[in-house]
Chains A and B, each alone.
Chain A
């Protein structure tokens, strides 16, 4: 069986621009303060947890390709650069890195601005904005930044599709097409997706940012975490609702174990949480719910779940972590990581590269 390792973590979140900031915020386990997000036409604002401005302007923003980019690219780039630190060689050069960027809402800020300009007067809509509206833009910019990037792909979907990014990255690694593979989940904030979210949960607090895992076949690269398994994808269908799909996913994950942590996507939203909460009702062990602290980061939140899981294993807190990705309208998938040297759980479905649709 081939083994795939996590060789770097990166995070940009409402907690800050590093994995350390994410770790500290989650360790405190207190929701970060929500801020008002003005919704034109409404007296009552929506709520958000924005990414704070970095203390020092990141140097990568001086790269010519990043001059006119939107926050989602900044987040993706910062998370990517943090995640690939350990895979650089002694000369500071990167190996061949594959890049997979997963998005749900994507480049909403520039899309909003461009379409607003189009409706005002299509003849003067800005050509500088339009290219940055494309889903593929963040991946393109990160590729330009890292340079040695032979394979790049953008996946769209609900947050569970972050696991498809991991599965595709595994395939690329096992086929020797790249030496390391970044799997990035990213989103940015705007009142429009917050408004859409409001329809499904009036108390939702939207957030933005990015999370990145750098995968490789090299166990020597820190942080010493192995990607053990990705469950089968359990799509929502005419016959399998979200609740049943989540239960099917749960059935493929290991039983309760106090040496392990569950990293879930619960968000204090009874309606949206019901399927996932029900599936994991048997779990009484340690549990980490990043969205409760950081907000509804959509695809970024799925990535934060995985980053936090790996970080807590690397920090010695737990031997293994189970990540539950119960998407909004696509599928439920589980991902499991463990500390290097820790024996695997004996799951019926050990790592299956591309066990998902890719």
Chain B
């Protein structure tokens, strides 16, 4: 059961702002100001406006000063989820997070200083420690006043979904009653330059599944949920936002950065997720696709969805919210899972406003305009560099 959810994207902070923006198909792209992009092909991204003051938490001033951009995004999302859940501090509360870069900006600062000022050691030990994702996770625990084992999954762009899926598995296996889980990543110069070097970023607009799509857009953000066994949530009378009912993971060995053209592993992840949820494609009311907007990803995913959905495909609403907030890398899957939760709670579908011409590979319907719709089950796909494919299935809680 999901008893709390927190989200930060370029569209805003918190459930309310994000739900309103996703519901209407807003976009959150702007010129990148965090680092020099003058020599990049693309100069925009879905950059988040961070608050100048953090909400009250149990971090010391010193700890707060050590937070980097990614750590702040993670903390904001975790704090919102924590408050909503009504959880109290505990000594053995596991944290399972997905990220590709952790505190990359600290690593970049470390590099710059080590190279340009080799004899200046100020701040370097702190950067070396806090660059690591486990330090950011510990900071969340300290901020919210709990303790517990930390697990960091780094399955590239599937990290957030993998983390939530594995957290769900932990509860299902009986290893824990409650898990704080999610994913996060901040924009970093290295990541931005990397995707730019691969020429996979759109110089125009990110239009997933559009026949004229020309690439992805990068973004940053975080989403965290408090995941809880039904008995635990029920016993304490917690408000239930929805539930994760299925998770599937598969491996695409085709290429390090390209999916199998037929989307075999994506299809398999969806199949496995449905099997674990004990549902069929007929029961899925909405798909939040991985939908990066690159020609190769979207074609492979379109084939996978079409094959998986079968006859259901023609009436199946699909959209990719990366059209509005960009690709959040390790944060993508968790943010998209929370978007699915919003759809289930509030009964609407998030549109891709820039979508115009369907790719011929799409046998399903792309949600292009805001719409109200009854949704009981939503499916979220995430596929990562390296080939880890992951699918989550969420269900509405009545």
Which A residues form the contact surface with B (CB < 8 A)?
Answer: 39-42, 65, 103-104, 111-112, 114-116, 118-119, 121-123, 125-127, 130-137, 139-141, 143-144, 147, 149-158, 161, 164, 168, 171, 192, 195-196, 199-200, 233, 235-240, 329-331, 353-358
Question: CA–CA, A199 to B129, complex, Å?
Answer: 10
Question: CA–CA, A147 to B252, complex, Å?
Answer: 10
Give chain B residues whose Cβ lies under 8 Å from the Cβ of A41.
115, 118-119
Is the Cβ of A235 less than 8 Å from the Cβ of B253? no
Is the Cβ of A133 less than 8 Å from the Cβ of B125? no
Contact among B102, B138, B386 with A330 in the assembled complex (CB-CB below 8 Å): B138
**A237 with B147: in contact, given A199-B124, A357-B170, A358-B96 (CB under 8 Å)?**
yes
Q: What is the total number of residues of chain B having a CB less than 8 Å from a CB of chain A?
A: 69
Give chain B residues whose Cβ lies under 8 Å from the Cβ of A144.
253
Contact among A65, A130, A137, A171 with B194 in the assembled complex (CB-CB below 8 Å): A130
Q: Is B153 among interface residues, defined by CB-CB distance under 8 A?
A: yes
Interface locus among B195-203, B343-351, B352-360: B195-203
Counting from the closest, the 4 A-B pairs by CB-CB distance are A41-B118, A140-B386, A136-B386, A130-B194
Q: Is B204 among interface residues, defined by CB-CB distance under 8 A?
A: no
Is the Cβ of B39 less than 8 Å from the Cβ of A127? no
Is the Cβ of B134 less than 8 Å from the Cβ of A330? yes
Contact among B108, B121, B132 with A115 in the assembled complex (CB-CB below 8 Å): B108
Question: CA–CA, A168 to B225, complex, Å?
Answer: 21
**A158 with B387: in contact, given A238-B142, A355-B175, A357-B94 (CB under 8 Å)?**
no
Question: CA–CA, A58 to B359, complex, Å?
Answer: 44
Is the Cβ of A195 less than 8 Å from the Cβ of B147? no
**A154 with B154: in contact, given A127-B198, A133-B194, A134-B385 (CB under 8 Å)?**
yes
Is the Cβ of A135 less than 8 Å from the Cβ of B151? no
Give chain A residues whose Cβ lies under 8 Å from the Cβ of B156.
134-136
Supplied contacts A111-B190, A126-B197, A171-B169, 11 more A-B pairs, CB within 8 Å = A40-B118, A121-B39, A123-B40, A127-B197, A127-B199, A130-B198, A143-B387, A158-B134, A164-B149, A192-B111, A353-B173
Question: CA–CA, A355 to B151, complex, Å?
Answer: 12
18 sampled A-B residue pairs with Cβ under 8 A:
A42-B119, A127-B198, A136-B385, A150-B251, A151-B250, A153-B162, A154-B153, A156-B134, A156-B154, A164-B151, A199-B125, A235-B141, A353-B173, A357-B94, A357-B95, A357-B148, A357-B149, A358-B166
Question: CA–CA, A233 to B110, complex, Å?
Answer: 30
Question: CA–CA, A41 to B120, complex, Å?
Answer: 11
Q: Is B376 among interface residues, defined by CB-CB distance under 8 A?
A: no
Which B residues form the contact surface with A (CB < 8 A)?
Answer: 36-37, 39-41, 94-96, 99-100, 102, 108, 110-112, 114-115, 118-119, 121, 124-125, 128-129, 132-135, 138, 141-142, 147-156, 162, 166, 169-170, 173, 175-176, 179, 189-190, 193-199, 249-251, 253, 256-257, 384-388
CB-nearest residue of chain A to B250: A150
Question: CA–CA, A40 to B114, complex, Å?
Answer: 9
Is the Cβ of B112 less than 8 Å from the Cβ of A119? yes
CB-nearest residue of chain B to A235: B149
Give chain B residues whose Cβ lies under 8 Å from the Cβ of A147.
253
Is the Cβ of B194 less than 8 Å from the Cβ of A236? no
Is the Cβ of A357 less than 8 Å from the Cβ of B194? no
**A140 with B147: in contact, given A151-B251, A330-B138 (CB under 8 Å)?**
no
Contact among B112, B173, B251 with A354 in the assembled complex (CB-CB below 8 Å): B173
Is the Cβ of B148 less than 8 Å from the Cβ of A196? no
Is the Cβ of A357 less than 8 Å from the Cβ of B150? yes
Give chain B residues whose Cβ lies under 8 Å from the Cβ of A116.
115
Is the Cβ of B114 less than 8 Å from the Cβ of A192? yes
Is the Cβ of B194 less than 8 Å from the Cβ of A114? yes
Question: CA–CA, A123 to B36, complex, Å?
Answer: 11
Is the Cβ of B125 less than 8 Å from the Cβ of A235? no
Question: CA–CA, A238 to B108, complex, Å?
Answer: 27
Is the Cβ of A158 less than 8 Å from the Cβ of B132? yes
